[in-house]
């Protein structure tokens, strides 16, 4: 791979050429069986394999988006399980584990507890709305939710006690290392997946747009690097170039602006899902998705056919998403590269031919998912909240007593503001 770079400086693609890696460990070698082929042919072949699996991934993804919120959530959960499995296996040492029966089970136990905690919190309100009709089920689900935190805490404490009771004399360091590693993995994987699922239920748009921007950034950086790549970007990833980076940034920001317009026209994508049903959605999309006319006559020359364009206010938010996706999100990729170098591993796994493991594909997505959630909560929700929406929330989510309680408290606060303490 190094010689390839020296002989052909113009061809500095962003792909990781797994086929020609002679420094590959035996595991990766097994996965990339045909790295003995001729150089040129295998480069194009590897590109073909990558393109093939890319098409399948994008196709499958589009299908799931069409099917709806619950299926997307299920997909996120499956991806999460794959990632957790890859990461758990990464620093496991088979030798030490011979004397530790049930240790892997402990990892999956913590995984299950984290799953219950995170998805319980996110889906609790939706679950309540789903069983609103049946009185008995409503009571049951409400009490489950009320004690949700306690249940998860006690499950965690049980795992904690189990861990301590399972400590074996010569293996303390290994076990503590594994325990810390498990926690780090679960935190990283579940933070971003929980934020992703929260975004999905606010409207598929807020999941689809960031994810697509990352894919566009990736592909654009590859293409720009392929054709124009000259100056190396960062020592961590020697195949990345400044030209690829900047070209991809421009492409990403422009496509963010355009894509938001296209995606924002579908109610399936912009409507929030209030319960766990799977049917069609109708709603008032809110002020963000109402087109505004923009008069361009002063800005563009005479021959430009369109004198007015309709801009959805959400497109300006999309530009911010594009900026982040092109400038900060690649650092997720650099982090993963540095990590792999630090621990001398080639890939996180080999589930996807030509791309490596699930974590390799998700590294930038993870950084983007957290950003989308925080951006949405801070800048978008505030804009979409209005008196009507909050009033509706109050009337549907609170019991009559709670509503009166809220009324009294709000009255006190307003009174204090008007007339002083």
Among 236, 246, 320, 323, binds its own copies (CB under 8 A): 236
Q: How far apart are CA 22 and CA 19, in angstroms?
A: 9
Secondary structure (H, E, C), 377-405:
HHHHHHHHCCHHHHHHHHHHHCCHHHHHH
Tell the residue number behind the tokens 């590859």, with chain if given: 222
**105 or 398: CB nearest its own copies:** 398
Tokens standing for residue 246: 């900047």
**Which CB atom, from 189 or from 281, has the smaller least distance to its own copies?**
189
**Listed ranges 19-27, 65-73, 200-208, 406-414: which one lies at the site for its own copies (CB under 8 A):** 406-414
Position 287 contacts its own copies (CB under 8 A): no
* CA dihedral over 203, 205, 209, 212, signed as positive or negative: positive
Query: According to CB under 8 A, which residues from 171 to 190 bind its own copies?
Result: 172-173, 175-176, 180, 183-184, 187
Of the candidate spans 58-66, 107-115, 242-250, 393-401, the one that interacts with its own copies by CB under 8 A turns out to be 393-401
- Rounded Cα–Cα distance for residues 382 and 361 (Å): 32
Q: How far is the CB of 183 from its own copies (least distance, A)?
A: 7
421 touching its own copies, by CB under 8 A: yes
375 binds its own copies (CB under 8 A): yes
Q: Which is nearer to its own copies, 57 or 236 (CB)?
A: 236
Count the helix, strand and coil residues of the chain and give each as a percent rounded to the nearest 5. Answer: 70, 5, 25
Candidate list 360, 371, 372, 380; residue touching its own copies; CB under 8 A: 371
Region near its own copies per CB under 8 A, out of 144-152, 203-211, 251-259, 282-290: 144-152
Structure tokens at 382: 């505030």
Query: Residues 292-331 vs its own copies: string with x where CB under 8 A?
Result: ------------------------------------x--x
Closest distance to its own copies from the beta carbon of 323 (Å): 13
* Nearest of 294, 285, 286, 289 to residue 313 by alpha carbon: 289
382 binds its own copies (CB under 8 A): yes
Q: Distance (Å, rounded) from C-alpha 280 to C-alpha 218?
A: 32
Reading the block at residue 304, the tokens are 């430009």
The reply to whether 93 sits near its own copies by the rule CB under 8 A is no
Minimum distance from residue 418 beta carbon to its own copies (Å): 9
Rounded least distance, CB 300 to its own copies, Å: 34
Interface residue with its own copies, options 2, 310, 386, 396 (CB under 8 A): 386
Instruction: Based on the shown chain and the rule CB under 8 A, indicate whether residue 405 belongs to the binding site for its own copies.
Output: yes
CA distances, 91 to each of 112, 242, 339, 355, 357 (Å): 20, 33, 12, 21, 15
Do 159 and 106 contact (CB within 8 A), yes or no?
A: yes
Q: Is 329 exposed, middle or buried (0-12, 13-18, 19+ CB in 10 A)?
A: buried
Q: How far is the CB of 296 from its own copies (least distance, A)?
A: 32
CB of 207 to its own copies, least distance (A): 18
Give the other-Cβ count within 10 Å of 4's Cβ: 15
- 298 near 225, Cβ under 8 Å? no
CA atoms within 13 A on the CB side of 277: 12
Chain center to CA of 181: 21
Residues near its own copies, by CB under 8 A: 146-147, 149-150, 153, 157, 160-161, 164-165, 167, 169, 172-173, 175-176, 180, 183-184, 187, 235-236, 328, 331, 334-335, 338-339, 341-343, 370-371, 374-375, 377-379, 381-382, 385-387, 390-391, 393-395, 397-398, 400, 402-407, 409-411, 413-414, 416-417, 420-421
């Amino acid at each position: 791979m190094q010689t390839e770079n020296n002989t052909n400086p113009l061809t500095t693609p962003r792909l990781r050429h797994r086929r020609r890696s002679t420094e590959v460990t035996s595991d990766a070698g097994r996965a990339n069986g045909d790295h003995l082929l001729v150089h040129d042919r295998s480069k194009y072949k590897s590109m073909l394999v990558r393109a093939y699996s890319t098409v399948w991934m994008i196709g499958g993804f589009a299908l799931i988006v069409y099917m709806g919120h619950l299926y997307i959530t299920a997909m996120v959960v499956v991806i999460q399980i794959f990632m957790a499995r890859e990461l758990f296996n990464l620093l496991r040492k088979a030798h030490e584990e011979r004397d530790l029966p049930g240790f892997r089970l402990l990892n999956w136990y913590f995984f299950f507890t984290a799953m219950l905690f995170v998805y319980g919190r996110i889906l609790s309100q939706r679950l309540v709305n789903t069983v609103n009709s049946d009185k008995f089920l409503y009571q049951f689900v409400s009490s489950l939710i009320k004690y949700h935190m306690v249940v998860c805490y006690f499950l965690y404490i049980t795992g904690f006690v189990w861990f301590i009771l399972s400590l074996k004399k010569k293996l303390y360091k290994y076990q503590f290392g594994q325990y810390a590693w498990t926690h780090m993995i679960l935190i990283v994987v579940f933070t971003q997946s929980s934020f992703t699922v929260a975004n999905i239920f606010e409207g598929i748009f807020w999941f689809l747009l960031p994810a697509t921007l990352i894919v566009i950034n990736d592909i654009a950086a590859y293409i720009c690097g392929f054709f124009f790549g000259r100056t190396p970007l960062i020592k961590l990833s020697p195949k990345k170039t400044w030209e690829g980076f900047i070209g991809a940034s421009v492409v990403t920001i422009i496509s963010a602006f355009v894509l938001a317009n296209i995606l924002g026209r579908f109610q399936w994508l912009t409507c929030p899902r209030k319960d766990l049903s799977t049917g069609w959605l109708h709603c008032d999309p809110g002020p963000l998705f109402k087109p505004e006319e923009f008069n361009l006559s002063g800005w563009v020359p005479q021959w430009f056919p369109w004198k007015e364009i309709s801009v959805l206010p959400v497109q300006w938010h999309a530009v911010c998403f594009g900026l982040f996706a092109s400038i900060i999100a690649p650092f997720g990729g650099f982090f993963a590269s540095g990590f792999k170098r630090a621990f001398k591993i080639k890939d996180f796994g080999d589930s996807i031919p030509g791309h490596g493991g699930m974590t390799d594909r998700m590294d930038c997505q993870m950084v983007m998912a957290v950003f989308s959630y925080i951006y949405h909560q801070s800048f978008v929700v505030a804009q979409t909240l209005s008196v009507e929406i909050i009033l509706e929330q109050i009337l549907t989510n609170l019991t009559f007593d709670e509503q009166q309680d809220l009324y009294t408290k709000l009255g006190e606060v307003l009174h204090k503001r008007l007339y002083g303490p």
